[in-house]
Amino acid sequence: MVGLEWYLGVSAMLFVIGVLGVLIRKNAIVVFMCVELMLSAVNISLVAFSSFMGDVHGMILVFFVLCVAAAEACVGLAIVIAIYRNNITADISKINLLRW
């Protein structure tokens, strides 16, 4: 059996790749995909802890995270479509209507 710390290490690595993607990409859809990446990285560590502690509650939390991620992707993509229709761009550096 592979130890818990390896799962946590991989999870941290994937989370950091997601953070990097959110910071350096400018395409709104890719930024959304990076957020999904971060959510699933956290899910890995939740499932790892749950499995190594013999406690089912972590997996229930992962189930709810999946539901919230689905709702978030649904609403977020609708917002991207609405912005694209008004601004003809999905580049988040050009969406600066609320900028000071």
Partner 1 sequence: METFFFVFIATFAIGTALAMVFSRNTVNSALFLILHMLSISGFYLSLNAQFLAVIQILVYAGAIMVLFLFVIMVLNMDEDETIFSQVDFKQIFAFLLAIVVFAQLIYIGGEFTGTLPDVSTQEMMAVGTVEAIGDELFTTFLLPFEATAILLTAAVVGAMLLAQQNINVEDEN
The amino acid present at 69, given as its one-letter code, is A
Structure-block tokens of residue 36: 């999904």
Site for partner 1 in 63-82 (CB under 8 A): 63-64, 66-75, 77-82
| Binding status of residue 35 toward partner 1 by CB under 8 A | no
Query: How far apart are CB 49 and partner 1 at their closest, in Å?
Result: 8
Q: Which of 90, 96, 98, 100 binds partner 1 (CB under 8 A)?
A: 90
| Binding status of residue 92 toward partner 1 by CB under 8 A | no
Q: What is the Rg, in whole angstroms, of the alpha carbon atoms belonging to the chain?
A: 17
Nearest residue to 35 via CA among 5, 4, 65: 65
Q: CA distances (Å), 32 to each of 4, 59, 69, 75, 94, in order?
A: 29, 24, 11, 11, 17
Residues contributing to the site for partner 1 (CB under 8 A): 1-2, 4-10, 12-21, 23-27, 29-30, 32-34, 36-37, 40, 43-44, 47-48, 50-57, 59-60, 62-64, 66-75, 77-82, 84-85, 90-91
